[in-house]
């Protein structure tokens, strides 16, 4: 079988999907295999659609090999949490699930959800059943389907935040696969008698050529980095009324070192869809953008199968026309909008209704108790009060949300008791604006460290900033352990992309708002070289910057960028 669009043979994953009996494969049988802690190779592709990855502890590979033991296999589970919202009950459940079945660390991801690592195969079902009891699941959190839908996190963003936020859940539902496999395999629900009940007009039996991501932004903040999504919805609000959404398509960051055909791309705005007379047209537009990618995306080479490549192959105008044909309407011209920032609002903030929100600083989204801060205990105690909801941000933070003025003193007291306020206030401006992906030891694709290394590197970068009297600069720094871009390093003012142990490409000149990608400045640097380059750059920045100029914009003006 070949891919209609490329005439090349289908990638092996295509066959696995089609032969999977609605993503069931041999997962159920595999769970009974006591000889290994792993699952069959084909099932490893399928289990992603259920929100899981099979991994192993890379730190322990050598030790296990010496003892002639198989790798220490375990699973990472990623939840589907559209727009990143948890009730206190859901947080309490997650806290206990993390304690019983995982490494204990709760990791907030760059797409506003959480991941738990180190789950042994026999613990998957109890974990998913416990989540199900608090109405949480991991369906389609990974795999060749629509992933977690992100949405501007802070309710402060607009008086109609909730109205916009509700679209995250609606779009997530709209684009969910119809198969009941998740419920059968992991929750022991009854098997379907009539398979017709799970016929899936959207995904059919082949699903999408690759992952698909949707984000929703409320200008002027672009905290979800909306243009890095396959499909970006930008809320257009006039006089506190939601008029509709600008639609942008073709964002995506993954690249492969040495493969010039791969590249990072920001989404292109193709038009505007009103919602003043109802949502039908918007939802149809979202749906058909996905069906076009389903039908025209590359299914032979997974490196070139994201929507960004489909768009660049066929052209924006073609895509827009095909969309108009499928929706039966003509998408309107885009409306004016402007982003001014991408940050989280740390500390206490009050919204238009008088409710309070506290954003603590959480380094790399990792929630645990350590010698510096008993953050996990603090959050559990806060959840137990029932006085705060939990909202995750696309910058790997969370917001303790919707706290009434009466309840604020109780939360304040707990934040003080556990040192969360002092910890947040002590973090430097760049630390608060930094992102690092997971990388080692769990990520099989990592070439270098990220979340285990960036905190220390930032300490050294802070010293340089102090030397050049730049400590107040909110420079956006991001690091990933490989070029896949999970921490969105190509959209940072300073991006580090791992090339090998202890080595990174240094990217410069993204903007503060997330509307311009950066470029490689120097390749394969070790820490000494990184600090040397930054020392010089900060010196020049201090000396030659225009008034109020951001570091990324300054870097853009330099000769190396224009060369
Ligand atoms: Fe990612 C693969 C972690 C956001 C682009 N990503 C992976 C895997 C699953 C490795 C794997 O395939 O085995 C990583 C698991 C590591 C681990 O041990 O947990 C992983 N990605 C993450 C997270 C947890 C990073 C984080 O520290 O927060 C983020 C989870 C998001 C979520 O909740 O859904 C995460 N990944 C992203 C983003 C950022 C975003 O979406 O805003 C990107 C860049 C945007 C994009 O998609 O283009 C991203 N991840 C990738 C890619 C490259 C895809 C491509 O088009 O080439 C891969 C590799 C792949 O898919 O083959 C990947
Ligand atoms: Fe792993 Fe690379 Fe993603 Fe980091 S960027 S989590 S190293 S795939």
Same domain assignment for residues 353 and 445? no
Q: Residue 146 gets which letter from DSSP?
A: B
Q: Which of 486, 488, 503, 550 is catalytic?
A: 486
Taken as a whole, the chain contains a residue count of 563
Domain termination site, one of 428, 461, 486: 428
pLDDT above 80: residue 132: yes
Question: Taking Cα atoms as reference points, which of 224, 236, 264, 266 lies closest to residue 248?
Answer: 266
Give the DSSP H/E element, type plus range, for residue 75. strand 73-78
Same domain assignment for residues 262 and 240? yes
Averaged pLDDT for residues 116-140: 98
Does residue 444 lie within any of the structural domains?
yes
> Helix, strand or coil for residue 483?
coil
Domain termination site, one of 342, 365, 399: 342
Compute the distance from residue 394 Cα to the ligand 1 centre, in Å: 13
Same domain assignment for residues 400 and 446? no
Domain that holds residue 370: 347-428
Instruction: Using DSSP bridges, classify how beta strands 73-78 and 503-508 pair: parallel, antiparallel or unpaired.
Output: unpaired
Averaged pLDDT for residues 259-263: 98
Compute the distance from residue 486 Cα to the ligand 1 centre, in Å: 4
CA separation for the pair 480, 458 (Å, rounded): 14
Residue 213 Cβ contacting ligand 1 at under 6 Å: yes
Same domain assignment for residues 304 and 174? yes
Ligand 1 pocket mutation, candidates 486, 492, 498, 514, criterion most atoms within 8 A of CB: 486
Q: In ligand 1, which atom is closest to the CA atom of 110?
A: 28
Residue 53 Cβ contacting ligand 1 at under 6 Å: yes
Question: Taking Cα atoms as reference points, which of 157, 140, 174, 126 lies closest to residue 234?
Answer: 157
The overall average pLDDT reported for the chain is 96
Same domain assignment for residues 360 and 500? no
Does residue 361 lie within any of the structural domains?
yes
Same domain assignment for residues 472 and 387? no
Does residue 19 lie within any of the structural domains?
no
> Helix, strand or coil for residue 149?
coil
Residue with the bigger pLDDT between 3 and 56: it is 56
Phi and psi for 272 in degrees, rounded to 5? Answer: -130, 140
Q: Is the pTM of this model over 0.95?
A: yes
Same domain assignment for residues 418 and 453? no
Least confident residue range of 30-34, 139-143, 518-522: 30-34
Q: Which of 320, 443, 478, 550 is catalytic?
A: 443
Query: Domain containing 363 — which CATH number?
Result: 3.90.480.10
Same domain assignment for residues 225 and 323? yes
Does residue 119 lie within any of the structural domains?
no
Active site residue 213: yes
Does residue 476 lie within any of the structural domains?
yes
Residue 437 Cβ contacting ligand 2 at under 6 Å: yes
Does residue 21 lie within any of the structural domains?
no
CA separation for the pair 281, 525 (Å, rounded): 49
Same domain assignment for residues 441 and 381? no
Predicted local confidence at residue 158, as pLDDT: 78
> Helix, strand or coil for residue 25?
coil
Q: In ligand 1, which atom is closest to the CA atom of 306?
A: 56
Q: Provide, for the chain, the percentages of residues in helix, strand and coil under a 3-state DSSP scheme, each rounded to the nearest 5.
A: 35, 20, 40
Same domain assignment for residues 294 and 386? no
Does residue 32 lie within any of the structural domains?
no
Question: Taking Cα atoms as reference points, which of 227, 218, 112 lies closest to residue 514?
Answer: 227
Residue 499 Cβ contacting ligand 1 at under 6 Å: no
Residue 30 Cβ contacting ligand 1 at under 6 Å: no
Same domain assignment for residues 268 and 357? no
CA separation for the pair 216, 227 (Å, rounded): 9
Domains in the chain, number: 3
Q: In ligand 1, which atom is closest to the CA atom of 443?
A: 18
Does residue 241 lie within any of the structural domains?
yes
Domain termination site, one of 342, 359, 375: 342
pLDDT above 80: residue 428: yes
CA separation for the pair 288, 294 (Å, rounded): 9
Q: Which of 48, 107, 147, 391 is catalytic?
A: 147
Query: Domain containing 462 — which CATH number?
Result: 3.30.413.10
Give the DSSP H/E element, type plus range, for residue 248. strand 241-249
Same domain assignment for residues 445 and 304? no
How sure is the predictor about 6, in pLDDT bands with cuts at 50, 70 and 90? confident
pLDDT, tens digit, for every residue of 79-121? 999 999 999 999 999 999 999 999 999 999 999 999 999 999 9
Residue 142 Cβ contacting ligand 2 at under 6 Å: no
Which ligand ends up closest to the CA of 435? 1
How sure is the predictor about 155, in pLDDT bands with cuts at 50, 70 and 90? confident
**Residue entry with tokens 């009974």:** 32
How sure is the predictor about 268, in pLDDT bands with cuts at 50, 70 and 90? very high
């Amino acid at each position: 079988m070949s891919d209609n669009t490329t005439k090349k043979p289908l990638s092996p994953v295509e066959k696995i999907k089609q032969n999977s009996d609605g993503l069931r494969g041999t997962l159920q049988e595999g769970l009974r295999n006591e000889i290994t802690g792993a699952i069959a190779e084909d099932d490893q592709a399928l289990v992603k659609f259920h929100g899981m990855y099979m991994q192993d502890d890379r730190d322990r590979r050598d030790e296990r090999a010496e003892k002639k033991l198989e790798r220490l296999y375990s699973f990472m589970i990623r939840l589907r949490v559209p727009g990143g919202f948890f009730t206190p009950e859901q947080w309490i459940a997650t806290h206990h699930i993390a304690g019983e079945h995982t490494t204990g660390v709760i990791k907030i991801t760059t797409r506003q959800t959480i991941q738990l690592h180190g789950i042994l195969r026999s613990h998957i079902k109890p974990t998913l059943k416990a989540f199900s009891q608090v109405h949480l699941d991991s369906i389609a959190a990974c795999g060749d389907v629509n992933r977690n839908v992100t949405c501007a996190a802070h309710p402060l963003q607009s008086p109609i935040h909730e109205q916009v936020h509700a679209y995250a859940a609606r779009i997530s539902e709209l684009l969910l696969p119809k198969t009941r496999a998740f419920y059968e395999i992991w929750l022991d629900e009854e098997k379907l008698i009539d398979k017709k009940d799970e016929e899936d007009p959207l995904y059919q039996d082949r699903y999408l050529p690759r992952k698909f991501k949707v984000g929703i932004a409320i200008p002027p903040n672009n905290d979800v980095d909306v243009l890095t999504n396959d499909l970006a919805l930008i809320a257009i609000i006039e006089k506190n009324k939601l008029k509709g959404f600008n639609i942008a398509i073709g964002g995506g960051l993954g690249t492969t070192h040495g493969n010039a055909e791969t590249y990072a791309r920001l989404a292109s705005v193709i038009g505007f869809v009103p919602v003043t007379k109802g949502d039908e047209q918007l939802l149809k537009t979202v749906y058909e953008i996905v069906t076009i990618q389903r039908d025209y995306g590359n299914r032979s080479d997974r490196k070139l199968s994201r929507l960004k490549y489909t768009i660049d192959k066929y052209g924006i105008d073609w895509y827009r026309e095909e969309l108009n044909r499928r929706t039966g309407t003509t998408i309107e011209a885009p409306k004016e909008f402007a982003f001014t920032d991408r940050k989280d609002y740390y500390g206490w903030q009050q919204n238009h209704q008088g409710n309070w929100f506290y954003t603590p600083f959480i380094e790399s989204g990792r929630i645990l108790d350590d010698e510096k801060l008993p953050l996990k205990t603090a959050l559990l105690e806060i959840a137990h009060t029932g006085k705060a909801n939990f909202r995750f941000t696309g910058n790997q933070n969370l917001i303790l949300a919707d706290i009434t003025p009466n309840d604020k003193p109780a939360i304040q007291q707990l934040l003080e008791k556990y040192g969360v306020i002092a910890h947040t206030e002590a973090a430097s401006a760049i630390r608060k604006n930094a992102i690092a992906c997971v990388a080692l030891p769990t990520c099989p694709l990592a070439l270098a460290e990220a979340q285990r290394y960036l905190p220390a590197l930032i300490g050294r970068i802070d010293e340089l900033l102090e030397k050049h009297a730049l400590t107040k600069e909110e420079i956006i720094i991001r690091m990933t352990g490989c070029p896949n871009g999970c921490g969105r390093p190509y959209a940072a003012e300073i991006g580090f992309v791992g090339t090998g142990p202890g080595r990174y490409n240094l990217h410069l000149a993204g903007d503060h708002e997330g509307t311009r990608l950066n470029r490689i400045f120097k390749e394969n640097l070790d820490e000494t070289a990184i600090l040397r380059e930054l020392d010089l750059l900060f010196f020049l920045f201090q000396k030659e910057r225009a008034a109020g100029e951001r570091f990324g914009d300054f870097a853009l003006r330099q000769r190396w960028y224009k060369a």
